[in-house]
Amino acid sequence: MNATYDTVAHNVSKHDAIAAKLDGLHNTFAGRRANHLGYPYNLEFDAELISQFAKFLINNLGDPYVGSHYATEVCGLEREVVDWVMRVWDCADPEEYWGAVGASGTEGNLWAMYLARETLGDPVLIHSTEAHYSLPKAAKILRIEALTCQADDSGAICPGALREIVHANRHRCVILALTCGTTMKGAHDDIGACVNVLARVGIDPSRRFVHVDGALNAMVLPFVDGLPSGIRPSFRHGVDSISTSGHKMIGTPMPCGVLVVRRKHVRRVASTVSYLRSDDTTLMGSRNGHAVLAIWNRLMRLGIAGFRHNARICIERAEGFAKALCSAGVPVLLNPYSLTVVFPKPSDRTVTEYQLACHGNCAHAIVMPNVKADLIDRFLGDYTAEFSCKF
């Protein structure tokens, strides 16, 4: 250590400067959070409720059902989280399923693709043009051949186009990745119809693996009344895995996700690692226990009733939002049971101010539980003023 440089005075000013920098960042974030409309993040969580754990390194090392020698862990809570989500996704017998909390929805997709490939050998992956970019990326990493299937204008996969692709590949094993709430348009693939397509072409369950990417809406649709059964994220369709993000509808202060998969697929890849005193069934070795705590805290506090309430108010607000744009003459897309309102891209200034996600000429806002009437009204005012000048 440099004695002349590292004086007490220097240390005091250094720590003051760091504190000032962190305070500045904190204030910036508070402003940005209040204006956020573009990404499907439920910012209505209270991190104070679990802040007492900030001083611990919580690591759910290894398999959630086995644990490890590292004792500051919450594998028990992780299993409660997974059981809760299994019930939401209609797992008849939880013993037949395996689940884990991971780093994100992306990790869930990647791990599902890995399990599918290990199950099927040399499969072809089929996903729609509207699927999340993490799916083609997973295919690339895993060297799985990927084919894209056309989606309709709403953003949902076309069962007719799917039938043609599956038929052309009927001698192969097929991974089908479907989406419950597409990233740009918030569309829902008809899971029931797509599984039927596979069956009718003659791809029996031993030659297929169906994954449902439900990053946002796998934690919305199960809580909606009167939902058409085909789009319900449910293992009753005979799918093999479903994933969601923790920081989207659930609401956590860090990115995270949950994957549930039929246990037989995990058994195949499990190898015992004595160093861990655990089974090696997860992509990551060390896994974020704080994320598990954050998800558990939300699920337990909200309960089914809280999720039902959030789903209902968000869908209603999204409908009001879309209606207001329509009456201002704005062409708008809002899929049924969706929180994603799509409209023509506004000026860069408005895009930046509301942190809108854009694709081509379109932008979207996503009505999450923290997106209340005042924010929507402020945005509508800015947007329609600009829109009526431009068109």
Ligand X SMILES: *Cc1c(COP(=O)(O)O)cnc(C)c1O
Q: Between 182 and 310, name the residue whose CB sits nearer to ligand X.
A: 182
* Residue among 173 and 242 whose Cβ is closer to ligand X: 242
How near is the Cβ of 213 to ligand X at its closest, in Å? 5
Minimum distance of ligand X from residue 8's CB (angstroms): 45
Nearer to ligand X, 117 or 132 (CB): 132
27's tokens: 């204030």
Number of Cβ within a 10 Å radius of residue 391: 9
Per CB under 6 A, 106 contacts ligand X: yes
Which spans in the chain are helix H? 8-34, 75-88, 105-120, 134-142, 159-168, 191-201, 263-269, 289-327, 348-354, 373-390
Residue nearest to ligand X (CB): 105
Question: How many binding residues for ligand X (CB under 6 A)?
Answer: 15
User: Toward ligand X, which CB reaches closer, 201 or 293?
Assistant: 293
Amino acid code (one letter) for 58? I
| Sequence-distant (≥ 6) Cβ neighbours of residue 27 within 8 angstroms | none
Residue window 239-278: x/- pattern of binding to ligand X, with contact defined by CB under 6 A: ------x---------x-x---------------------
Q: Does 104 bind ligand X (CB under 6 A)?
A: yes
Smallest gap from Cβ 14 to ligand X, in A, equals: 36
Nearest to 100 by CA among 305, 243, 230, 277: 243
Reading the block at residue 369, the tokens are 């539980």
Distance (Å, whole) CA 33 – CA 307: 22
Least separation in angstroms between residue 131's CB and ligand X is 7
Q: In the set 179, 278, 335, 350, which binds ligand X (CB under 6 A)?
A: 179
SS3 53: helix
Q: In degrees to the nearest 10, what's the CA dihedral of 372, 373, 375, 376?
A: 110
Nearer Cβ to ligand X, position 61 or 131? 131
CA proximity to 346, closest of 19, 100, 43, 37: 37
Least distance in Å: CB of 48 to ligand X? 23
132 binds ligand X (CB under 6 A): yes
Q: Which stretch binds ligand X (CB under 6 A): 116-124, 177-185, 227-235, 309-317?
A: 177-185
**Hunting for tokens 């003051």 — which residue is that?**
16
Q: Is 288 in the site for ligand X (CB under 6 A)?
A: no
Report the residue number, 74 or 216, with the smaller CB distance to ligand X: 216
> With binding defined as CB under 6 A, does residue 183 bind ligand X?
yes
Smaller CB distance to ligand X: residue 50 or 254?
A: 254
Give the Cα separation of 284 and 86 in Å (integer). Answer: 22
Minimum distance of ligand X from residue 294's CB (angstroms):
14
- For the bound state, the minimum distance from the C-beta of residue 204 to ligand X, rounded and expressed in Å, comes to 28
Q: Which residue in the block uniquely carries the two structure tokens 């500051």?
A: 72
x/- mask, ligand X, residues 293-332, rule CB under 6 A, reads ----------------------------------------
What is the per-residue binding string for ligand X in 186-225, x denoting contact by CB under 6 A? ---------------------------x-xx---------
Which stretch, 175-183, 277-285, 310-318, 334-342, contacts ligand X (CB under 6 A)? 175-183
Q: Which stretch binds ligand X (CB under 6 A): 28-36, 150-158, 181-189, 304-312?
A: 181-189
How many angstroms separate the CA atoms of 161 and 54, rounded? 50
Residue 218 half-sphere exposure toward CB, CA atoms < 13 A: 33
Question: Is residue 335 involved in binding ligand X (CB under 6 A)?
Answer: no
Nearest to 172 by CA among 204, 141, 195: 204
Q: Yes or no: say if 182 and 191 are a contact pair by the CB < 8 Å rule.
A: no
HSE (side-chain half, CA atoms, 13 Å) at 333? 18
Beta pairing partners, 288: 59
Count of Cβ atoms closer than 10 Å to residue 6 Cβ: 10
We find the least distance from the C-beta atom of residue 108 to ligand X, in angstroms, to be 8
Which stretch, 112-120, 179-187, 198-206, 353-361, contacts ligand X (CB under 6 A)? 179-187
Within 60-158, residue ranges assigned H as helices are 75-88, 105-120, 134-142
Residues engaged in binding ligand X (CB under 6 A): 104-106, 132, 134, 179, 181-183, 213, 215-216, 245, 255, 257
